[in-house]
Amino acid sequence: MAAEPTTPLRRQLAGEGTTRRPSALDAFLAARRRFLAGERVDMTALAAQLGVNRVTLYRWVGSREQLLVEVVWSLARRTLDQLEAEHRGEGRAVAILSEFLEATIAHPGMQRWLAEEGESAMRLLTRHETDFQPRLIAAVEALIDPGDPDRHEVAYALVRVIESYTYLDLITGETPDAGRARPIFARLLQS
């Protein structure tokens, strides 16, 4: 005779009656799916999709802005990880940064967000207190030779170049073009 499932997980895996309640992680994943699809991350719609009220959703994620920062950071980190795995050897950092910028500019969710909420997006992703920029600086710093005494400052400058070219249309009215940043990355990374 088979033993009865004893834990909630085993009962859920066995398909027994208990339904799982949504969580903060479910909210994050649903928001990320919307962003990836180029849709607006609307808190009312997200709460309805999860079957919770807005108060619960805000308690889980803090604010819409905090949720968006986490969504965009998760996508940035995933892109950087993929690029780091693909590139080796000489010119690695320049290639990674150039392709990261290209992917950022081409991303449908980012394009929609910048087109509809550009000033807000730029503020959230370039201000230290939202924690996106410090994480990006740390990720870029990890690409730079550990023996470089100016490693942190170079990483900061590289991130500012990424930001400048991502928001080029908001800053100057010009079309964002990752190719224009590549020679700047190369100059900043010269020893």
Are 104 and 175 contained in the same domain? yes
Domain-embedded: residue 6: no
- Show the CA angle centred on residue 60, arms to residues 59 and 64, nearest 5°: 85
Question: Are 52 and 73 within one domain?
Answer: no
- Rounded CA separation 143/114 (Å): 27
Give the pLDDT of residue 16.
Answer: 61
Q: 87 and 151: one domain? A: yes
What type of residue is 189?
Answer: L
**Predicted local distance difference test score (pLDDT) of residue 15:** 66
Query: Residues 105, 168: one domain?
Result: yes
CB 118 within 8 A of CB 167: yes
Within-domain flag for 9: no
Full domain range(s) for residue 55: 21-61
Stated pTM of the model: 0.87
> At which of 13, 36, 61 does a domain end?
61
Q: Is residue 1 part of a domain?
A: no
| Domain final residue, candidates 61, 85, 114 | 61
Distances (CA, A) of 109 to 32, 36, 40, 71: 9, 5, 8, 10
pLDDT of residue 20: 72
Whether 143 is in a domain gets the answer yes
Write out the chain's pLDDT in tens, 191 residues: 555 556 665 665 666 655 678 999 999 999 999 999 999 999 999 999 999 999 999 999 999 999 999 999 999 999 999 999 999 998 999 999 999 999 999 999 999 999 999 999 999 999 999 999 999 999 999 999 999 999 999 999 999 999 999 999 999 999 999 999 999 999 999 85
What is the reported pLDDT for 124?
95
Task: Please indicate, yes or no, if residue 114 is contained in any of the structural domains.
Answer: yes
Please count the structural domains in the chain: 2
Residue 109 included in any domain: yes
Q: Are residues 57 and 109 in the same domain?
A: no
